[in-house]
Amino acid sequence: MITRTNPRRGGESGGRGLFRERAAVTPLTSKPKDSGPRCYGYARVSTRPQADEGESLDVQQRVIAGYAMQLGLTVDRVFVERGVSGSRPLAERPEGAALLAVLRPGDVVITPKLDRMFRSALDALAILGALKRCQVSLHMIDLGGDTTGNGVSKLVFTILSAVAEAERDRTRERIAEVKADQRKRGRFLGGSVPFGWRREGDGLVPVPEQQAAIERMRTLRAEGLSLRAIRDRLTAEGVKVSHVAVGNALRAAAAAHG
């Protein structure tokens, strides 16, 4: 969740920053207001051996420091993520959350590569949009620099938007495939238990009396009766059911019978 900080309190070392973090973060010492923007780096390795050896992290930190010098900035702190997978959203990583928690308007964040900070286009798009709105510059060195404020920005957002849409489509497809497989195996996927069935464990089992009522519905429907007329006929025969349930049961029966 993103929240704007009171400008009068933003310069204090105890400010919460633009992003609220779930866990407490040790406050950083702020620069005087007239000393220019604060500059932070972000580095990450995904495996514990890489973190222990430190070479990859050392290289990333040297690259960040060198790039900051080109901008005339001094890195206040590099947030180093050791042994954390990039598949985790930035805000759910210990150092990623700590970084987001201290950011304020005018700050600069530098990371060597897009994949050090993001592996999901959805996450990247959300964070980049939030940083841009909050006037925080994010420099990804491998993408040519400031991805929130210069000519690179539009290209990056366009590409990420396209990739994010593809990610959403793949997610929907995977969910649909899982649900279809669960249905084939008789698993109950939640929601209201349909007429004609009862829940048992993680699946549904038929209720004989209601299944017989569904067959009666199909017969009446074939005779041309409306859903409400079928409801009234069944009610008169001692089966209490709404016209909505009648419609749902008939559609499910039609699908089951091809």
Residue 46 among the catalytic residues: yes
Query: From CA 172, how far away is CA 194, in angstroms rounded?
Result: 24
Q: Which residues contact 60 (CB under 8 A, 6 or more apart)?
A: 41, 43, 44, 112, 116
DSSP the chain: -B-PPPHHHHTSTT---SB--SS--PPPPPPPTTS---EEEEEEESSHHHHHH-HHHHHHHHHHHHHHHHTT---SEEEEEES--TTS-GGGSHHHHHHHHH--TT-EEEES-HHHH-S-HHHHHHHHHHHHHTT-EEEEGGGTEETTTSHHHHHHHHHHHHHHHHHHHHHHHHHHHHHHHHHHTTB--SSSPPTTEEEETTEEEE-HHHHHHHHHHHHHHHTT--HHHHHHHHHHTT----HHHHHHHHHHHHHHT-
Among candidate residues 13, 46, 120, 226, the one labeled active-site is: 46
**Enzyme catalytic residues:** 46
